[in-house]
Amino acid sequence: MRVGPVIPVVAIDDLAQAVPLASALIAGSVRVLEITLRTPVALAAIRAIAEAVPEVIVGAGTLTRPEDFIEARNAGARFGVSPGLTPALIEATRKSGLPLLPGVMTPSEVIAARLAGFRELKLFPAQQAGGVGMLQALAGPFPDVTFCPTGGISAETAPAFLALPNVACVGGSWLAPKAALAAGDWDAITELARWASGLDSR
């Protein structure tokens, strides 16, 4: 979470895009990448990136089933991200050894995650959950929790989130736009990554 201010969140439909995307992000000084398990080639994309671009810290997103953890780890993922947290997912992350960034949306969910031993959480969906105001409100009762807000964050709104003391980084799909992926415009993605890597983070 502290390697860089923005973690790109990407759904890859074409396996051929995986390695060029990772290379373009590295060229822009973005070293962490989340590939969501929302497409048939997601695990293969993680494996390709882990093997071809090892300097990228590639993670698996949208972990919603216990079996996702083993599959992601075996594909080469170095961390996992989930949109929520359940007892089954807690057990899965412990059994698999795959570090997890679990999603929360409410104070009760933050409490449950803390009781399970998590202090680094993903606020999701961030904008719909209350955005900057929600994170400011959560800072009071949960001073020991650090967040990676994700969902609805753009290049324009990211700086406001990153200015908060309880935010380590933000997740964003805007770092790898679908149009740029489809066109193979890796230079455009590198430029976005270079700009994002220069954002202030605490």
Q: SS3 for 202?
A: coil
Evaluate whether residue 99 is within a structural domain. Answer: yes
On whether residue 145 sits in a domain, the answer given is: yes
With 90 as the cut, is the pLDDT of residue 142 above it? yes
* Residue bearing tokens 């400011």: 136
Catalytic residue among 34, 95, 156, 178: 34
The domain in which residue 178 lies consists of: 6-197
The reply to whether the predicted model has a pTM over 0.85 is yes
pLDDT of residue 99 exceeding 60, the answer is: yes
Structure letter (DSSP) for residue 172: E
Q: Kindly report the CATH number assigned to the domain that includes residue 124.
A: 3.20.20.70
Residue 139: the pLDDT is 98
Q: What is the mean pLDDT of residues 140-163?
A: 97
202 lies in a domain?
no
Is 109 assigned a catalytic role?
no
Whether 68 has a pLDDT exceeding 60, the answer reads yes
Measured CA to CA in angstroms, residue 182 lies from 18, 34, 69, 185 at distances of: 12, 18, 28, 8
Q: What is the pLDDT of residue 149?
A: 98
Q: What does the pLDDT average to over 153-173?
A: 96
> What are 70-94's pLDDT values in tens digits?
999 999 999 999 999 999 999 999 9
What per-residue confidence (pLDDT) applies to 91? Answer: 98
**Considering the chain, what is the average pLDDT of its residues?**
97
Do 149 and 170 contact (CB within 8 A), yes or no? yes
Position 19 in a domain: yes
Q: Is 34 designated active site?
A: yes
Whether residue 1 is contained in a domain is answered as no
* Marked catalytic residue, from 95, 109, 122, 156: 122
Q: How many domains does the chain have?
A: 1
- pLDDT(202) > 50: no
